[in-house]
Amino acid sequence: MLVDSHCHLDFPDFDGDRDDLVVRARAAGVTKMVTICTRASAEPTVRAIAEAHDSVWYAMGAHPLNVGEAPLLTTEELIAYAAHPKMVGIGETGLDYHYDKWPPDMQKESLRRHIIAARQTGLPLIIHSRDADDDMAAILREGYNDGPYTCVMHCFSSGRALAEAALDMGFYLSMSGVVTFKNATDLRAIFADAPLDRILVETDAPYLAPVPKRGKRNEPAYVAHTAITGAEIFGIDTADFAMATTANFHRLFTKVPI
């Protein structure tokens, strides 16, 4: 039994077979999925997908590459969204300096609002970080010093220092198909040094399909391939890795029933 802790089922890539991919996920042993909303305008669609499938929940936030498209989400708005029974996480939010799309200060303000919402709702914060390790570690720590909250570093592919900072605060690292790539030796080493009880698995579908599906459209069923590599990293059976990461998911996403 596996959980895809982060996918984007509302994306148009899935318009032709969205219901079928949920069935394929179940057949692959993926019993739960969290589909992620990345902008406020998409929330009704994302929520409807979660409502339509017993195995799907959703998270709500503003992706850092989308923060300038509309007025910044307020903490109060995020808290209001969290009242829905299938809304289980705050985000994804974060910092992305790879693309010079929106000013860093705007991204930081959005991130801080999401941190407060996570703390006040008790829901986990879902973090996207790209080329922003130092600022990300500083803001997460700043927020944590104001009061603890829970968090997962989604699709973790940053440096060792950010991993250690996140783990030091009790956060989780989410393993995507990137760990299966041949050139991901350093990333696999970071995961190998992390505690198994802080690891989640995800697809980030439709992106980043794992080997042997690399280059194809990703989907929740393919998290099973990532789990095989994850088990190899930790030197355990795939079934044991699946059991551990599913237990970790439920420890973090407490709103999702076991």
The full DSSP string for the chain is -EEEEEE-TTSGGGTTTHHHHHHHHHHTTEEEEEEEE-SGGGHHHHHHHHHH-TTEEEEE---TTTGGGSSPPPHHHHHHHTTSTTEEEEEEEEEE-SS--S-HHHHHHHHHHHHHHHHHH-PPEEEEEES-HHHHHHHHHHHHHHS---EEETT--S-HHHHHHHHHTT-EEEE-GGGGSTT-HHHHHHHHTS-GGGEEE---TTS-PPTTSTTSPP-GGGHHHHHHHHHHHHTS-HHHHHHHHHHHHHHH-TTS--
The whole-number average pLDDT for the span 54-69 is: 98
Spatial distance between the Cα atoms of 236 and 190, rounded to a whole number of angstroms? 17
Domain positions in the chain: 2-252
What residues pair up with 175 in beta bridges, in sequence order? 201
Give residue 197's pLDDT band: very low, low, confident or very high (50, 70, 90).
very high
Give residue 42's pLDDT band: very low, low, confident or very high (50, 70, 90).
very high
**Torsions phi, psi for 2 (to 5 deg):** -125, 160
pTM of the predicted model, to two decimals? 0.98
How much is the mean pLDDT over the chain? Answer: 98
The whole-number average pLDDT for the span 166-194 is: 98
pLDDT score recorded for residue 80:
98
Q: What is the CATH number of domain 2-252?
A: 3.20.20.140
pLDDT score recorded for residue 140:
98
C-alpha Rg value of the chain to the nearest Å: 17
Spatial distance between the Cα atoms of 18 and 26, rounded to a whole number of angstroms? 13
The whole-number average pLDDT for the span 6-26 is: 97
pLDDT score recorded for residue 100:
83
Residue-wise pLDDT for 225-241, tens only, equals 999 999 999 999 999 99
Residue-wise pLDDT for 157-170, tens only, equals 999 999 999 999 99
